[in-house]
Structure 1
Amino acid sequence: MFIQPWDAALDRSEWQTWIAGGHDFGLLSVNGLLGHSPTVVPTHFVSGDDELLIHLARPNPVWPSIEYDPNVTFTVIGDYAFVPGPWRAKPGTAPTDGVPTSYYAAVEFTCQAHVVDDPQEKAELLRRQMAHFQPDGDHALIAVDQPPYGRMLPGIRGLRLEVTDVRAKFKYDDHKPVEHRVAAADRLTARGQGLDVPTARQQLRRLDRMGTWSP
């Protein structure tokens, strides 16, 4: 992932806060076996202390590749929008001379994958996931010897992704003048399609923290 200086995370807490704010679905990318393409798996995840926790079905074709090479990447993308060229035209130029772009946030985790097959450890992994996704506890007890989860545990394998590096990108034209960024956020909010509104929020949040960008 190419990151311009003005698109980089301002600090570690910025991307951590963004992830914690409901961005808990991403893409697991695994190196393919010799002669095969890489495998990409969309899945929910739970973040912990320098690790990500996921589980996948045992028949998933990703397992041989992970066991062959545990170096994996997990990518989370959100708050994205297409920005048409006329919105980015420089003052005094024709609107059609503006060059379009994409706004988005992305966090890329480089990880070492550790397969979790022990039944008790898989149950604990699921309990941690459920504590995140169903914090009200409105689910059956997750235990090896109790239904419904007990009988389902053999059908899954857990993954503990040990995070070795994190690269975060917040691409919202932060190198442009303040007036340009405010106008873009206003236009996104007015258009209101897809993720336009959260994209505008990210742009204004960065503006409040950064102001006029400088090296």
Structure 2
Amino acid sequence: MDGTLVDTEPYWMAAEVELVTSFGGVWTHDDGLALVGQGLWISAAILKSRGVDLELDEIVSWLTDRVQRQLDDVGVPWRPGAKELLADLRERGIPTALVTMSVRRMAEQIVANIPFDAFDEMVTGDEVTNPKPHPEAYLRAAELLGVEPQHCIAIEDSVAGLASAVASGATTIGVPHVIPLPDTDEHTLWTTLEDRTVDDLIELVTARTAAR
């Protein structure tokens, strides 16, 4: 979700800076980049190690509150082509699941801003034991959809997200945003989702299946 469907990474980074500085610490842009794609409780532990004197659950709740407030005040900043591809998937009757390390209340806020029923299922960071890069979240999403993971396509923007999706067995697409992604045979890189359609997804799956 964050960074793939919506450009909320700047919101998270601003919240991190505000939190760390409120405890007298220093948090740089590079520090923020290091948390992109990580599970929120992993991020919270790192922030705590940098002087944030709160419990992990409190840190997660504080950050989520700040990001949700920015979403209310500024709006939902969609990534290019994201809503359009989701709409094409729905029109073609292809089941979809949102897999995010954000907590459910924030994911529901984002989904509520989509002007159609975009997802059949949702797996969030507060509902898994093992966050990305572990494959649990994607395996759970496939289970909820009633399909095998190898019959799924996952779209990600972070290194941890890519690792999670690839480990699940899904055909994986990386769309770089605030951090570069490795170029390997394990996944496919697209520069953007703009002008991408279901036909592009089908073509990709067909090509990767033939190459196995």
TM-score normalized with structure 1 length: 0.23
Q: Which has the higher helix share?
A: 2
Quick check: which has more Rg, 1 or 2? 1
TM-score (norm 2): 0.23
Q: Which has the bigger relative contact order, CA under 8 A and spacing at least 6? A: 1
More strand, by proportion: 1
